[in-house]
Structure 1
Amino acid sequence: MCGIVGIFDLKEKREINRELLSKMNESQFHRGPDEGGLHLEPGLGFGHRRLSIIDLGSGQQPMLNDDRSVVLTYNGEIYNFLELRKELEGLGYRFKTHCDTEVILLGWQAWGEACVEKFRGMFAFAVWDRNREMLFLARDRLGIKPLFYAELNNGQFIFSSELKALKQHPLLPREFEPTAIEEYFGFGYIPEPKTIYKNVYKLEPGHTLTLKRGQVAYQPRQYWDVRFREQPFNSEQEAVEELLARFEEAVKIRMMADVPLGAFLSGGVDSSGVVAMMAQNSTDSVNTCSISFGDPKFNESQYAQMVAERYRTSHRVEQVDPDDFQLVGQLSGIYDEPYADSSALPTYRVCELAKKQVTVVLSGDGGDENLAGYRRYRWHTYEDRMRSVMPDVLRKPLFGFLGQVYPKADWAPKIFRAKSTLESIGRDSLEGYFHSVSVNSNSIRSALFSEKLKKELQGYQAVEVFRRYQNNAPSDNAQSLVQYLDIKTYLPGDILTKVDRASMAHALEVRVPLLDHQLVEWMASLPPGFKLKNREGKYIFKKGLEKYLPNDILYRPKMGFAVPLGSWFKGPLKEQVRQSLLGETMTDCGLFDRQFLTKMVDQHQSGLRDYSAPIWSLLMFESFLKSDRILP
């Protein structure tokens, strides 16, 4: 895993500032502490920070071809590079290294822009082809590896693995994008392709971008999308066996490394399944790590231990202090823009723990999105059935009224907290799903934002992100549609962003077998009932893993990384919350309603309402504002 940066002059071949390029590159030192390199020529500069994983002695970047007409800077892993190497050798190409980097370099020469369709892996890379006067950028199909870019007023195009590298450029536009603020407070992250800044973008997953000097306009091109086209199966058992075979193969090809390798083991279905497959394909003991929590409601360490004992892994576990909030102030420096998933805290800690043992880990991310593992899929399909039995002219006003008058009973047992469900059923399917996943409801965002920000938004709402993807959705099945939406938004914007930044902060590479694009395509072809059946998510996956894992692992309630925000904000972080949300940073920015901020803090700290999610998203935004002022 690595970090890449680049500066390309769109207008002419002006000299690139070497000192600036180096500064941008070194801001990502944590992504690749092993080696660093720069390549400069008239009108172009590439930088690279390397974390050595395969072919440790060679493969330095930026890498050039024999006649130095093609230059590559690359972050990621191509798992089928040995197959592609043979194919390229058959075409007459000769290799100087044993790494996957050279496969991309020569693959570009052989196949041009179509090379991305050959690559199986996670990647973000840039190729400069001097003979074609062309700069080509690409990001992997699922968005495992990040890529940011911007065009500057001086005609330079800049790109990098993290936004912090672009921020080193003095001409980067730093004006906030109002719709990105609305999306952040809706989703808890800023979905692709936007960033917090106007005219600064993330290249979307499964997209490429081609630029030529003198070109006035350019547009990202999509080269891949997941299609939910159901395929016939002779039996459920046939599908179970094929899923397991494909899953094991996806794990196996990700076990190639010239450095110590292991796995995250939370004790959940997905990570336990990955460890089981690793154990099947390793002669040595698998290295595993997990963290435990003091609160038994959130502690999965006993289940991780069960898997570790069953497969005799070399297991390492450390307990996280339930009041481990020292990282709160550091998160803005790790994520570079507002990011409100509080599980970033324990994720950072488990990456820190893993790095003590290994350089590469396999994770179980992606199983929930692809195999309908989240509880919200179950609730959404239930709510959609409710919508279908009543005409809109009756349902919307009736449930809208019930949702409005039903009390917000945060203090009550869950069975009595029906307000959110009633509100959701009163909306159309897409708005209902957005309501269920949003970290701040429409009403809270409306009360939270200042009149100035509302005017700038001109009625724009974050649900439009879903509507954009709905227009291209490959299925009208309610369950498949929301899985597709999550694959396009939540997976790259939240889950993969969280893991990439937390792992790279420790120079740790994370590989994701359940996001192998060939496996993802096949899982998308499964009938929805194979994924969510009789209220059981990941049904077919769990059936297949029954011979590898005990039922206590497979069929217990999902837990995940939980952080006790509510108690923090009324206890050890009480004063910090008041100072941050009601201080001059939030007041002076002109984005929020001071009166509502005060009401929210007072009601949460008195126990009248639970505003944990809004307060956390505001804390992260305030922390970002402070850090953004410090940077050049």
Structure 2
Amino acid sequence: MCGIAGTTEPTRHKSVAVMLRALAHRGPDHTGIWTDADRKITLGCVRLATTDPNNVANQPLISSDRRFVLAFNGYIAGHRRLIAELTRHGQTISCQSDAELVLAIMARSIIKGTSPAYALAKLSGQYAFALWDNVQSCLWLARDPLGIKPLYVHSHPNGQISFASEMTAFSEWGTMTRDQAIKPHYLAHLFVPAPQTGALRVTQLQPGMLVRNQNGKTNADLIAHPAKSVQHGRDLKVSPERLRSAVRQSVADAMDADCTVGTLVSGGLDSAGVAALACDVARERGQSPPVAFVMGFDDPAYDESVAATKLCQYLGQSLYVVKAPASSDEIHQELCDALDHVGGPFANPSIVLLNRLSQEVSAHVKVCLSGDGGDELFGGYPRYRAGRLYETCWRHLPKPLRRLIAKLSGYRKNSKAHRFLAGASDGDEHAFSLWNNRCVIAECDALLAVPETLIGRGLAVSDAMMMFDRDVTLPGNQLLMSDRCGMAFGLEYRLPILGHDVVRLAASVPAACHLGQGPKTLWRQAIASDLPQWHVQSPKKGFNPPVAMWLSRVARYRWGSDADIRDTVFDELAISRDVKDAYWQRAISGKDLDMARSVWALMVWKIWQERGGSDIGSAIGNAADAP
């Protein structure tokens, strides 16, 4: 993995060096800059050397004919096999890195006049890159179809652009102006969905985007999502054995690195399943099991370190337990640091945990395997089960009766039952919107950003929710956290569950089958033989902090009294003081997680504003001034 940056400004080529200093944490092993003779483009890369650490693999890479120049951030599964195949067909290869493979594939496609998007769709991995074609004076920008790696574009008033792996790199072009219009989407999702970012004139490439920029004119193509190659919901009788084989191959590919590899572990299935398969691969290769990491809490209601310790003893892994931040100042500082990494408002409180965890993991390994994507692909969230209950039972009741029951349940609006009944009181679209909107404060006017590809498809609610989470929530939420928190400390998270063969298999199975015998039915069956039975059957706690407690501590640490908190956090809402007090008390009660998350999002929004839009300008300025 790396950090990349560049610009088409002909008189500002030296600015790329400043941008790269702001990204230095992403690539501590090497910094490289290339500018073409006419200064039409400058590309830069800070490199984290995880494959082929030799100097010949340093970036930007230049093709043997000098026509193409590439700055690449990412990892390609099975890259050595693919490079060997290219070599057998006469392709000249200068090194054994993932970037060299992408350079060769893009060059061949452009020279032959075939579709680069089609060629890239055949690659499984996580990446973003910038490629310059010297002959056509053309810039290509790309982001992988699952949205695992980021790429941001800053449009300049004169029509030129700059681009970077993180928004913090753009302060070289002046202070970013906050985009207040993002707030309804931010509150509904708890993040800013692409292409919006939180800054005016700055956009994020959406997952799968391949952009071609030539002479100031831009057109875009789409790299096909692996799930789109199957007919959604067509049960191909995917067996547990077939799924396990696909995930194991993805794990084996992810472990192919020229550095030490570790794994995250937990009390759940996803990271534990990946860790178990990683140990199996290591044994097959004659290697020691990879070292493991888990977050530990003082509160047993949130702590998974005991279960992780038992699991690692079973698998033969050494385990590091990283203590979660607990004091008000610790939580507040980790939150502010994480917001600086993101560059915009981000309201999943788990980013505080991952930020702390990643710092400790990076002290031991450069690459760490994670179970990200398991909930979205295999049906792990309770909302999906609510969708199935609605589809199989509740929707068949007369609508007036459903509305009456929802109204009567409204006397206890903080109950999970009321949220289900309110969503199920009308049609499919209403249920989808209410259950996926994370904001329960009606006066916020929070608004979901739903892709056109989901509208009017006639999907079952549970299938639509799983697809929505896979295509929107996963890249905007969990994958963003993995990238920013890992790369903040020069750590590359690899996500085997999101290997393209695994994604295709999961997408071919309808939600009804994923949920048939409880959450993650197919995945649970697939991994059961690799894990102890007590772990497979143990209830999931999830990678979550005590949100209500943290909300109370951080808000009081920052603003003091409850009255000052109320007047600050709710100041943009046209509601009475009594209603503000009621929302605040519900949020910190520990009995209403939805309200706690909603108020946490309002708190983060206010912190982001007070810090000058997550300190986009000053944070970058500080990085740029660093030696």
Bin the TM-score by the shorter chain. 0.7 to 0.9
| Secondary structure class of the residue paired with 1:344 | helix
What amino acid is aligned across from residue 38 of structure 1 in structure 2? Answer: I
Q: Gaps spanning 5+ residues in structure 1: where? A: 447-460
What amino acid is aligned across from residue 200 of structure 1 in structure 2? Answer: V
Q: Tell me, yes or no, if structure 1 residue 542 matches structure 2 residue 515.
A: no
How many correspondences in the alignment?
595
Q: Tell me, yes or no, if structure 1 residue 181 matches structure 2 residue 183.
A: yes
Contact 1:322-1:564 at 8 Å conserved across structures: no
| Secondary structure class of the residue paired with 1:76 | strand
* Whole-Å separation in 2 of the counterparts to 1:599 and 1:584: 7
Q: Where in structure 2 are the equivalents of 1:249-288 lying within 5 Å?
A: 249-282=249-282, 283-288=287-292
Q: Where in structure 2 are the equivalents of 1:221-300 lying within 5 Å?
A: 221-224=222-225, 226-227=227-228, 228-230=231-233, 239-282=239-282, 283-300=287-304
The residue that corresponds to 2:606 in the other structure is 622
Deviates more, 1:299-308 or 1:435-444: 435-444
1:515 Cα offset (Å): 0.2
* Whole-Å separation in 1 of the counterparts to 2:531 and 2:47: 37
| Secondary structure class of the residue paired with 1:546 | helix
What amino acid is aligned across from residue 189 of structure 1 in structure 2? Answer: F
1:372 Cα offset (Å): 0.6
Q: Tell me, yes or no, if structure 1 residue 56 matches structure 2 residue 61.
A: no
Q: Where in structure 2 are the equivalents of 1:244-393 lying within 5 Å?
A: 244-282=244-282, 283-323=287-327, 324-325=330-331, 326-392=333-399
| Secondary structure class of the residue paired with 2:412 | coil
Contact 1:5-1:158 at 8 Å conserved across structures: yes
How has the CA–CA distance of structure 1 residues 397 and 124 changed in structure 2, closer, same or farther, with 3 Å as cutoff? Answer: same
Q: Tell me, yes or no, if structure 1 residue 123 matches structure 2 residue 127.
A: yes
Contact 1:430-1:466 at 8 Å conserved across structures: no
Contact 1:263-1:289 at 8 Å conserved across structures: yes
Contact 2:338-2:355 at 8 Å conserved across structures: no
* Whole-Å separation in 1 of the counterparts to 2:141 and 2:497: 25
1:301 Cα offset (Å): 1.2
| Secondary structure class of the residue paired with 1:105 | helix
| Secondary structure class of the residue paired with 1:201 | strand
**Offset from partner CA, 1:567-624 (integer Å, 9 cap, x none):** 344457425245799589969x985448569536764589599542233112211222
Contact 1:586-1:592 at 8 Å conserved across structures: no
How has the CA–CA distance of structure 1 residues 286 and 222 changed in structure 2, closer, same or farther, with 3 Å as cutoff? Answer: closer
1:247 Cα offset (Å): 1.2
The residue that corresponds to 2:68 in the other structure is 70
Q: TM-score, normalised by structure 2?
A: 0.88
* Whole-Å separation in 1 of the counterparts to 2:557 and 2:295: 29
1:244 Cα offset (Å): 1.1
The residue that corresponds to 1:501 in the other structure is 484
The residue that corresponds to 1:438 in the other structure is 437
**Offset from partner CA, 1:253-301 (integer Å, 9 cap, x none):** 1111111111001121111111111111112132111121111111111
* Whole-Å separation in 2 of the counterparts to 1:540 and 1:147: 34
1:481 Cα offset (Å): 1.6
* Whole-Å separation in 2 of the counterparts to 1:243 and 1:491: 21
Contact 1:48-1:62 at 8 Å conserved across structures: yes
**Offset from partner CA, 1:340-371 (integer Å, 9 cap, x none):** 00011111122122112211010111111111
Q: Tell me, yes or no, if structure 1 residue 15 matches structure 2 residue 11.
A: yes
| Secondary structure class of the residue paired with 1:246 | helix
How has the CA–CA distance of structure 1 residues 321 and 627 changed in structure 2, closer, same or farther, with 3 Å as cutoff? Answer: closer
| Secondary structure class of the residue paired with 1:243 | helix
What amino acid is aligned across from residue 369 of structure 2 in structure 1? Answer: L
Alignment match of 1:489 (pick from 472, 494, 517): 472
| Secondary structure class of the residue paired with 2:530 | coil
Contact 2:151-2:164 at 8 Å conserved across structures: yes
* Whole-Å separation in 2 of the counterparts to 1:598 and 1:537: 37
1:530 Cα offset (Å): 3.1
* Whole-Å separation in 1 of the counterparts to 2:235 and 2:190: 38
**Offset from partner CA, 1:417-467 (integer Å, 9 cap, x none):** 532222111243233233223331251414xxxxxxxxxxxxxx523x226
Q: Percent identity?
A: 25
The residue that corresponds to 1:398 in the other structure is 404
| Secondary structure class of the residue paired with 2:263 | strand
What amino acid is aligned across from residue 130 of structure 1 in structure 2? Answer: N
Deviates more, 1:223-232 or 1:337-346: 223-232
How has the CA–CA distance of structure 1 residues 579 and 398 changed in structure 2, closer, same or farther, with 3 Å as cutoff? Answer: same
How has the CA–CA distance of structure 1 residues 606 and 26 changed in structure 2, closer, same or farther, with 3 Å as cutoff? Answer: closer
Contact 2:443-2:573 at 8 Å conserved across structures: no
Q: Where in structure 2 are the equivalents of 1:455-494 lying within 5 Å?
A: 462-463=447-448, 465-466=449-450, 468-471=452-455, 476-494=459-477
The residue that corresponds to 1:455 in the other structure is none
Contact 1:362-1:511 at 8 Å conserved across structures: yes
1:61 Cα offset (Å): 0.8
What amino acid is aligned across from residue 223 of structure 1 in structure 2? Answer: A
Alignment match of 1:552 (pick from 522, 534, 537): 534
What amino acid is aligned across from residue 93 of structure 1 in structure 2? Answer: Q
* Whole-Å separation in 2 of the counterparts to 1:369 and 1:602: 31
How has the CA–CA distance of structure 1 residues 572 and 189 changed in structure 2, closer, same or farther, with 3 Å as cutoff? Answer: closer
Q: TM-score, normalised by structure 1?
A: 0.87
* Whole-Å separation in 2 of the counterparts to 1:331 and 1:581: 27
Q: Tell me, yes or no, if structure 1 residue 5 matches structure 2 residue 10.
A: no
**Offset from partner CA, 1:141-195 (integer Å, 9 cap, x none):** 211111111321111112111111123322x7624151x2101111110112211
What amino acid is aligned across from residue 466 of structure 2 in structure 1? Answer: Q
How has the CA–CA distance of structure 1 residues 258 and 43 changed in structure 2, closer, same or farther, with 3 Å as cutoff? Answer: same
**Offset from partner CA, 1:55-98 (integer Å, 9 cap, x none):** 11131111111232211001001123223323332443212212
1:397 Cα offset (Å): 4.7
How has the CA–CA distance of structure 1 residues 421 and 584 changed in structure 2, closer, same or farther, with 3 Å as cutoff? Answer: closer
* Whole-Å separation in 1 of the counterparts to 2:50 and 2:232: 37
* Whole-Å separation in 1 of the counterparts to 2:23 and 2:567: 28
1:21 Cα offset (Å): 1.5
Contact 1:63-1:72 at 8 Å conserved across structures: yes
* Whole-Å separation in 2 of the counterparts to 1:244 and 1:584: 50
* Whole-Å separation in 2 of the counterparts to 1:99 and 1:384: 48
* Whole-Å separation in 2 of the counterparts to 1:385 and 1:601: 34
* Whole-Å separation in 2 of the counterparts to 1:24 and 1:169: 9
* Whole-Å separation in 1 of the counterparts to 2:76 and 2:129: 12
What amino acid is aligned across from residue 269 of structure 1 in structure 2? Answer: L
Q: Tell me, yes or no, if structure 1 residue 516 matches structure 2 residue 516.
A: no
Deviates more, 1:433-442 or 1:241-250: 433-442
